[in-house]
Amino acid sequence: MSAGVVLVGVVWGLIWGLLTPGIDGRVVAPNKAVATGDTSTDFTAIGVYFAVAMIAGVILALVFWMPPKLRGPAGVAGLAFGAIAAGIIAVWVGDLVARLRFSGRDGVPVDGDFTQAPSLRMSDAYLDIGGGIGFSWALLVVAPLTALLTYLVLVVMNRSGDLGSPADPAPAVSPAVTSNEIPHS
């Protein structure tokens, strides 16, 4: 199950890192730059992350639903924590991919243009996970909520009272001899 969570997080991050637009800018003075491109780029980057997070949530719900033994409260708890872990992995991988795609303003001379990776930071909802990678905690809840809602739909659609998870088989009962029976010889 852990491998599935990591795989979803890595793919999610790769998709976001490859689809997210860069922020265009120009260096106007040493250590000072201004954005020159579309001002909605940050919003677009967050929107792409949000959309991919919803898809990842559905995939994670299916990953946790497939093994019948995980169906139930333990599976729901694992799904919630797994979706949060996948989101953190996705932010880390996505940030790495986006930084590789967009060089940023380091080393750009005055009056030089550059493109840098967008940030997943939203004011008043910021969380720093270390290593200079920060993002909005509000985005971190998208995948778990989508995953839990998808899981709920799967539970409601299931026709079996045990959610398709077979109970442990009952021990075989051997017929007992009662005192009223007389053994045949």
pLDDT at site 86: 93
Residues in CB range of 8: below 8 A, 6 or more apart: 56, 59, 60, 63, 86
Mean pLDDT by 10 residues, the chain (185 residues): 88 94 87 81 86 94 86 88 92 90 85 84 61 65 93 84 57 58 62
Helices (H), the chain: 2-19, 41-65, 73-101, 137-140, 142-157
Report the C-alpha gap between 87 and 13 in whole angstroms: 8
Domain ranges of the chain: 2-157
Answer whether 0.95 is exceeded by the pTM: no
Identity (one letter) of the amino acid at 6? V
When computed from its CA atoms, the radius of gyration of the chain, rounded to whole angstroms, is 26
Q: 32 by DSSP, 3-state: which?
A: strand
**Chain segment 100-139, per-residue pLDDT in tens:** 999 887 888 888 888 888 877 666 655 665 555 556 667 7
Angle between helices 73-101 and 2-19 (to 10 degrees): 30
Tally the C-alpha atoms within 13 A of residue 119's C-alpha that lie toward its C-beta.
Answer: 14
**Chain segment 49-58, per-residue pLDDT in tens:** 999 999 999 9
Report the C-alpha gap between 22 and 20 in whole angstroms: 7
Cβ-based neighbour number of residue 6 at 10 Å: 15
pLDDT at site 129: 59
pLDDT at site 44: 87
Report the C-alpha gap between 49 and 119 in whole angstroms: 11
pLDDT at site 71: 81
pLDDT at site 40: 79
pLDDT at site 181: 64
Q: What is the dihedral of CA 114, 117, 123, 127, to 10 degrees?
A: -140
Lookup: tokens for 60: 């994670």
